[in-house]
A and B are shown apart, each in its own frame.
Chain A
Amino acid sequence: MSLEIKKLEKSYQGKVVFNEIDISIKEKKINCLLGVSGIGKTTLLNAICGLIPIDSGDISDFKNKSFSFIFQEPRILNWKTVYGNINFVLKDIYDKNHADVVTKKYISMVGLPEYANYYPYQISGGMQQRVAIARAFAYPSEILIMDEPFKSLDFKLKKNLMESFINLWDKDRRTVIFVTHDLDEAVCLGDNIFVLDESMPSFIKKEICIILPQNERLSDHSILNNIKIELADSLNI
């Protein structure tokens, strides 16, 4: 099963970003869009979740879908605690008790139970991003969109967060669209990797499928080296 983006055309600030692009997003998989910065990856995501209109094409498969989002920055509310931030997105859809149960569950799943009543300024940036990840999974969306959520984190923290992410994802297997410019992130997390060309307008230059389960990749990614070389070639790096 897949969700189709068909012949999508989109201009942004007078430039044609995508010209009749086709992408087939696999359901219940991690779909990775890999490409250099500034080729309109965020524009594509915004179009998919309906934040901005498209010029032409068909993305009707995404219409009426619910989305949760993990952004580059945590985008959590400074005036709410860890608990409050996750509860914030659940209050409209669940009754009070259920929202409470779900909130607590996801706080534990990202390893922050002792920090439930802490405000964002009292925890580190990495922990804040963990809250954002928990919030995205706690919200019962059909599609999870991730816009470079590990950018500007150091290596250790990145690995750490990727492990938390995989743990959560393994349990619910929802459709993920993951945008990154980082080769390692792509091969560690992606089931399908779409390489976007650096030209403007951009197009899908290559599509790679990795069958190895994610939790086996993080421990040893030597097997992935060939894939990495292949991807690096197509990215011209």
Chain B
Amino acid sequence: MKTSITKKPSFLRYEGIYTLISFLVLLAAWKVVSVIISSEIILPSPEDTTISMLKLIRTKEFFIIILSSFQRGLLGFIISFILGIFFGFLSGLSRVFRRIFEPFLSVIRTTPVITVILIALIWFKANNVPVFASFLMAFPIICTNVIEGIDNVDQKILEMAKIFRIKKSRVIKEIYIPSLVPFLAAAVSSAFGIGWKVVIAAEVLSQPKYAIGTSLQTSKIYLNINDVFAWTIYAILIGYIIERIIRFAEYKTIKWKKEK
């Protein structure tokens, strides 16, 4: 029993060795395939990609590009987070609202990403297309999870609170919200992940001045496949770092939850 208290969650425990192995396997496979293909335009080697990465990071626009894309992702996420919680709560607590709102949610959820981006290109400025697209992708995820969280509030616990005559405001604060947190945490990490990918896809088409997507597209046009790979790896790294941060925040907030 005591050990479970001191046990750290898996991502904090020393399991780096497995990640390292999987990374090395991937790298080796990449190297082998690139040797077999032996065409820099189809598949650049890991070394060439690394060189491109180092070259890119030394350019003066690099951090502006990364930050601009990140900013778009963050903005889209924040908007979908706030609206998702708001509409999620409304649908979770009102049957009528849910009935009316659910079809909209289904439409948003099933609309092809590319349609969203194409329409956004007509409606918005280049800078805002990625924000809008990522918002529209992340919003249903947050919203659905909030609804599910509210549905999952334990009725027996609510009954207990009623018997002990706990004030309504405290029932919301100390029962509804904590019950919701695990659902929200799950939603946040997948919403951000999907939002980030959509931001870059939208940037490819909308071509803001500073953007990972724009850089990818430019590199592709000039058949600079090394740079395409280099930018992609940067995009992956950023996504990965953000996911770790979210996981860590999640661990800090849900310390009462059993480690699986």
Chain A residues with CB under 8 Å of chain B are 49, 51, 66-69, 71, 73, 75, 77-80, 88-89, 91-92, 118-124, 135, 139
A135 to B164: give the CA distance in the assembly, Å. Answer: 10
On chain A, the residues within 8 Å of B167 by CB distance are 92
A89 to B167: give the CA distance in the assembly, Å. Answer: 10
Q: Is the CB of B163 within 8 A of A119?
A: no
Residue of B nearest to A74 (CB): B160
Sorting the interface of chain B by its residue count into under 10, 10 to 19, 20 to 34 or 35 or more gives 20 to 34
A80 to B5: give the CA distance in the assembly, Å. Answer: 15
Q: Is the CB of B156 within 8 A of A89?
A: no
| Count: A-B pairs, CB below 8 Å | 55
Q: Is the CB of A67 within 8 A of B5?
A: no
Q: Is the CB of B166 within 8 A of A92?
A: yes
Residue of B nearest to A123 (CB): B1
* Given known A-B contacts A51-B162, A66-B165, A88 and B174 have beta carbons under 8 A apart: yes
Residue of A nearest to B175 (CB): A77
Interface majority SS (helix, strand, loop, mixed), chain B: helix
User: Is B95's beta carbon under 8 Å from chain A?
Assistant: no
Of A68, A71, A78, A91, most B-chain CB atoms within 10 Å: A78
User: Is B15's beta carbon under 8 Å from chain A?
Assistant: no
Give min CB distance, B156 to chain A, whole Å. 6
On chain A, the residues within 8 Å of B256 by CB distance are 78-80, 119-121
* Given known A-B contacts A80-B256, A121-B257, A75 and B156 have beta carbons under 8 A apart: yes
User: Is B59's beta carbon under 8 Å from chain A?
Assistant: no
Residue of A nearest to B162 (CB): A51
Give min CB distance, B181 to chain A, whole Å. 8
On chain B, the residues within 8 Å of A118 by CB distance are 5
Give min CB distance, A164 to chain B, whole Å. 20
Q: Is the CB of A77 within 8 A of B156?
A: no
Q: A88-B174, A123-B1, A139-B164 are in contact. List 18 more A-B contacts (CB 8 A).
A: A51-B163, A66-B165, A68-B163, A75-B159, A77-B174, A77-B175, A78-B256, A78-B257, A79-B256, A80-B256, A92-B166, A92-B167, A119-B255, A119-B256, A121-B257, A122-B1, A122-B5, A124-B1
* Given known A-B contacts A77-B157, A77-B175, A79-B256, A67 and B163 have beta carbons under 8 A apart: yes
Pick the residue among A51, A88, A119 that contacts B166 (CB under 8 A).
Answer: A88
On chain A, the residues within 8 Å of B254 by CB distance are 79
A121 to B162: give the CA distance in the assembly, Å. Answer: 24
Ranked nearest first, the 10 interchain pairs of A and B with the lowest CB-CB distance are A79-B178, A89-B164, A121-B258, A79-B256, A119-B256, A75-B160, A69-B163, A92-B167, A75-B156, A78-B256
